[in-house]
A and B are shown apart, each in its own frame.
Chain A
Amino acid sequence: MESFAYQAPDSLDAAVALLAEQREASVRTQILAGGTDMIVQLRSVDRAPRMIVDIKRIPETRSIKLGADGLILGAAVTGAELSARDDVTAIYPGLVEAADLIGSTQIQGRASVGGNLCNASPAGDTIPALIANGAICQIAGPGGWRELPVEDFVVGVGRNALEPGEFLVALRLPAAQPRSADAYLRFTPRSEMDIAVASAGVRLAVDEDGVCTEARVAIGAVAVTALLVPEAAEALIGTRLDDAACAAAAAASTAAARPISDKRGTEAYRRTVVGVLTRRAAVIARDRALGGQA
């Protein structure tokens, strides 16, 4: 492991200024939240940063605000902190489940939703759940504040849309509709300590008659980035989310997937399973939406 400098600014302004300074000086800089991906990556000499900027002391990155406008989730909030919030879990159970799937109990105490997103793995568990929920990234940088839909944030394997000097502060999720819910499922050969072979996140809302009025479907680990699948959502909207509709959504996900064959699964296997997961996640979200008032 190469040696590096470390700073932990305690305000957004200080962080923006520090990052700008490092950028001016052309210092290879890395943002640290939980560090559960980054510290492993530090061992690879090629990618070793010279400066690490820890954002955990910035209050905006550590807070969870749930209100009438929706949820503002600080980028450094850990999986364990999120799972402990029953009020958030009641509205966004799928997102909480996705965050809860990452790593062991020990990792849960460090790993953050924002870090999982910025790491930009094709198999990142929170990303399809965030896309399904229509999450918006809140980004601070030298040019000020900007917002970007999550589905546009990840641009390639390990690559995100942050410009030099920018960092992710929080994620904003729109307020939940009445009779709406989300669900997230991934497939791994092991029960935990594993990486998704395929995954699916679904958020949907139903009217008083049980007809689906809104839906968003996102799939993971079946392309270079997680994908929003509008065709799957269209297959659900306007239906009573019966078997035929869920099967149609599954077929849409299978068709939208662009997987590769690798050590974790074949292309054909991933296509099949991402459909199965879409169908099962849609059924779970439907039952949640019908069962409880959001």
Chain B
Amino acid sequence: MSEAIKAEDFKQIGSRPIRPDGLDKVTGRANFGADFSLPGMLHGRFLRSPHGHARIRSIDVKAALAVPGVKAIVTGKDFPDVEPGDIQGGEGGGDYHDMAVNVMARDKVLYHGHAVAAVAATSVRAAEEAVRAIKVEYEPLPVVLDIDTAMAPDAPLLHEHLYTEGLPEKPARPSNVAQVMESSRGDIEAGFAEADVIIERTYYTPTVHQGYIEPHACLARWGQDEQSTVWCCTQGSFDVRSMTARVLDISVSSLKVIPTEIGGGFGGKTTVYLEPVAIVLSRLSGRPVKLVMTREEVFRASGPASASKIKLKIGARKDGKLTAMSAWMAYEAGAFKGSPMVPGVMCVFAPYDVPAFKAEGYDVLVNKPKVAAYRAPGAPQALFATESAMDELARKLNMDPIELRLKNAVRDGSQAAYGPKFHAIGMEACLQAARAHPNYKRPLGPNQGRGVAVGFWFNVGMQSSAEIHINEDGTATVIEGNPDIGGSRASMALMAAEELGIPYKDVRVLVADTEAAGFTNVTGGSRVTFATGMAVIEAARDIISQLKQRAAALWNVDADMVDWVDGKVVARPGVNVEADPLSLADIAAQSAKTGGPLLGRASLNARGAGPSFSVNLCDVEVDPDTGKVDVLSYTAIQDAGKAIHPSYVEGQMQGGAVQGIGWALNEEYIFDAEGVMENAGFLDYRIPVASDLPMIDTQIIEIANPGHPYGVRGVGETPIVAPLAAVANAVNAATGLQMTELPLSPPRILAALEAAKG
């Protein structure tokens, strides 16, 4: 990989043009998942489990089939048995067999809201009436709703044949713990023995939802030639294709997935719930079938983020130097294995250079919906613990919290706790920027406090493809396969325009379907601007090498006698050509003469995704009489490597901060004793509204990532990692409390304040 380009060399990268999809989205013209319809289309509705855990004794659909307008009903029996196997692609852990059983329950329901049957009918009303007419006999089983209950030796089992993986040998008895993992280095006993100060606490985070505004939706059409087409809102059309094919035991070549515009995903739209069901309903009815979740179904039956319990212990010398860290980390997976425990274990100590550490992780099954990825999966929970403990350590040592972190920060050459040696990272630069930021010096009033926390995410590369078609007037079309959830069309267009030496407005970007775009992994892992961007740059360079050949042919010289300079092909110094340099448009206009249309392409498995660090500052005021927290000021500082489109980098930083603040303050799934979620709507599942928060201040740090031609590193996930602890640390500073359980809702804070008064 070539060295990163210097900032001053860019002509368009770093500018802030309007995104190509922007006007359609703000005027309502953009088509989202639920916007597609076909002639003869049926509407589907689900029957979902009223129990948190139960055996299905029988399902009787006779009366439901008799409802006028009903064309098809499916239950678990209409789906093939799927062999176990780790899910490839997507953005979270899990198993294909489990995915199939999650899509439609077989012998057991494992959470309240688990799909038991689905109906397709000529109207929504008829489908709903038929759903009410399905008779299911259940044998209720005890529900398991938290980590401690699930891990108890005599706990009721969700899966009778699940044995803990990751132990030296297969255990004798089945368990609700699907996997254990340990990561360690150095002599931890000696490390803690050397410590002058030890902080040891247990931290809890609740089940939360990504809160994307657009519910899951799809339209499926099965054909008698066994070819199916699906329109759906997803972060990964190729993932929907492979997962649906696996669940239905069909070939990927018999399925075309057309991604619609997507109204938020944040990791939650990297798996399938509706698509296999819609295809089977379409096959049985011979009609296209549309399935759209209600908001309530999204809460009850899509994939929220793991609740966690983390016991953390850190030791340091009086000078603030860390001597040892240990963590016991349990993550709820929901009803099927595959929580983000592994990345949690890998990142819990990632920001710090500590001589000895040990982290053990547990993937724990409970009777809740199977979790899905949520922005930096596993990291917000892990770093909430680490950064809360670091804050407490700073206070114990009477040391500035940024100073303490600078003393222990990983830097170039540090061996990451998760393995590799760090190179060109921005942790120190972010800390120094935070210390110098005016918001770090703002005076605080009574009941006000300031919190600091560090965020981190690995970032990934993975597979991407891109094509660039040059039009006859020298404008360009970029074809790629990543649904645009954060302004990626704009970034792709900027990178293509930069390389090709044409204006941004002359580049159109098409997010194509699975038969029109080359294979591309999910829009997730903060990978798109990095990896698909790299493919676009390489496709543009493919065009440029062709342009040089075409120009050389026109000038009747060898291709190695011309160069691409400043958006034009020029003859090398000393080469005798009596012609003006040729731009892309010049050559495109005469492409017929030189070999036909210009088409560039690239496909790659991107390596070298640099991790992104962040530092967040948060000021709050706590109402001592009601426990309510008001966020007064919030500052997100993050290393973006190179910000291709700074507005959309800032948008990621602000959006992640808002979601993290919501997680810290008010968001949580509230379950009753039977496992029924009591707040399955945005009224009582409280994501912040605009008036709750100040403008989130941002500062982009640019430490070029040597793994990308422009220095890009992923920015989409790191922003949600620091806010949980930043907010909690600010609340603790304002109140003198030491809060260890989220959310920091007013009743919880008031109870803690009253307890502290004695």
Contact = CB atoms under 8 A, between A and B. Distances in A.
Interface string B673-714: 000001100011010110110000000000000000000000
A192 interface: yes
B689 A190 contact: yes
B757 to A, nearest CB: 13
A266 to B, nearest CB: 5
Contacts of B82: none
Contacts of B626: 187, 273, 276
Interface string A214-225: 000000000000
Contacts of B746: 187, 189, 197, 265, 269, 273
B319 interface: no
A32 interface: no
A264 interface: yes
B745 interface: yes
B666 interface: yes
Nearest to A273: B626
A189 B679 contact: no
A44 to B, nearest CB: 12
B659 to A, nearest CB: 15
B459 to A, nearest CB: 33
B688 A190 contact: yes
A195 B683 contact: yes
A277 to B, nearest CB: 8
Interface string A190-214: 1111110100000000000000000
Contacts of B689: 190-193
Nearest to B624: A276
Given A263-B678, A272-B750, A191 B692 contact: yes
Contacts of B670: 263
Given A189-B746, A269-B746, A276-B626, A264 B688 contact: no
B483 to A, nearest CB: 28
Contacts of A2: 125
B684 A264 contact: yes
**From A190, A264, A268, A272, residue with most partner B Cβ within 10 Å:** A190
A100 to B, nearest CB: 13
B678 A276 contact: no
A264 B683 CA distance: 10
Contacts of A192: 689, 691
B59 to A, nearest CB: 22
Interface string B647-686: 0000000000000000001100010000000110001101
**From A189, A190, A268, A273, residue with most partner B Cβ within 10 Å:** A189
Interface residues of B, number: 23
Interface in A251-294: 262-266, 268-269, 272-273, 276
A195 B679 CA distance: 13
Nearest to B670: A263
B326 to A, nearest CB: 35
Q: State which size class the interface on A falls in.
A: 20 to 34
A269 B683 contact: no
B9 interface: no
A75 B663 CA distance: 40
A264 B679 CA distance: 9
B321 interface: no
Given A269-B747, A269-B750, A263 B679 contact: yes
A194 B678 CA distance: 16
Interface of B is mostly: loop
Nearest to A265: B747
Given A187-B626, A192-B689, A263 B684 contact: yes
Nearest to B682: A193
Nearest to B679: A263
Given A263-B678, A263-B679, A266-B747, A190 B666 contact: yes
B628 interface: yes
A243 to B, nearest CB: 13
A237 B8 CA distance: 74
B442 to A, nearest CB: 21
Nearest to A2: B125
B625 interface: yes
A193 B678 CA distance: 18
B296 to A, nearest CB: 11
Given A190-B686, A269-B746, A269-B750, A276 B625 contact: yes
A192 to B, nearest CB: 5
Contacts of A193: 683, 689
A268 B688 CA distance: 25
B515 to A, nearest CB: 38
A273 B692 CA distance: 20
A122 to B, nearest CB: 15
A223 B708 CA distance: 62
A276 B624 CA distance: 10
Nearest to A269: B747
A190 B692 contact: yes
Nearest to A261: B747
A50 to B, nearest CB: 15
A268 B755 CA distance: 13
Nearest to B627: A269
Contacts of B666: 189-190
Contacts of A190: 666, 686, 688-689, 692
Nearest to B630: A191
Interface in B614-636: 625-628
Contacts of B691: 191-192
Interface in B189-219: none
Contacts of B625: 272-273, 276
Contacts of B128: 45
A189 B686 contact: yes
Contacts of A197: 746
A264 B747 CA distance: 9
A276 B692 CA distance: 21
A174 to B, nearest CB: 32
A189 B746 CA distance: 7
Nearest to A264: B684
B50 to A, nearest CB: 17
A190 B688 CA distance: 7
A9 to B, nearest CB: 29
B128 to A, nearest CB: 8
Contacts of A272: 625, 750
A194 B689 CA distance: 10
A276 B665 CA distance: 21
A47 to B, nearest CB: 15
A1 to B, nearest CB: 8
Nearest to A192: B691
A123 to B, nearest CB: 11
Nearest to B677: A263
Contacts of B665: 189
Interface string B116-134: 0000000001001000000
A248 B689 CA distance: 35
**From A1, A2, A264, residue with most partner B Cβ within 10 Å:** A264
B628 A187 contact: yes
Nearest to B685: A263
A189 B683 contact: no
B680 to A, nearest CB: 10
28 contacts: A1-B125, A187-B746, A189-B628, A189-B665, A189-B745, A189-B746, A190-B686, A190-B688, A190-B689, A191-B692, A192-B689, A193-B683, A193-B689, A194-B683, A194-B686, A195-B684, A197-B746, A264-B684, A265-B746, A265-B747, A266-B747, A269-B747, A269-B750, A269-B751, A272-B625, A273-B625, A276-B625, A276-B626
Given A45-B128, A263-B684, A269-B747, 5 more contacts: A2-B125, A190-B686, A191-B692, A192-B689, A273-B746
Interface of A: 1-2, 45, 187, 189-195, 197, 262-266, 268-269, 272-273, 276
| 10 residue pairs, one from A and one from B, having the closest CB atoms | A269-B747, A276-B625, A191-B691, A263-B678, A263-B670, A191-B692, A263-B679, A189-B666, A193-B689, A263-B684
Interface of B: 125, 128, 625-628, 665-666, 670, 678-679, 683-684, 686, 688-689, 691-692, 745-747, 750-751
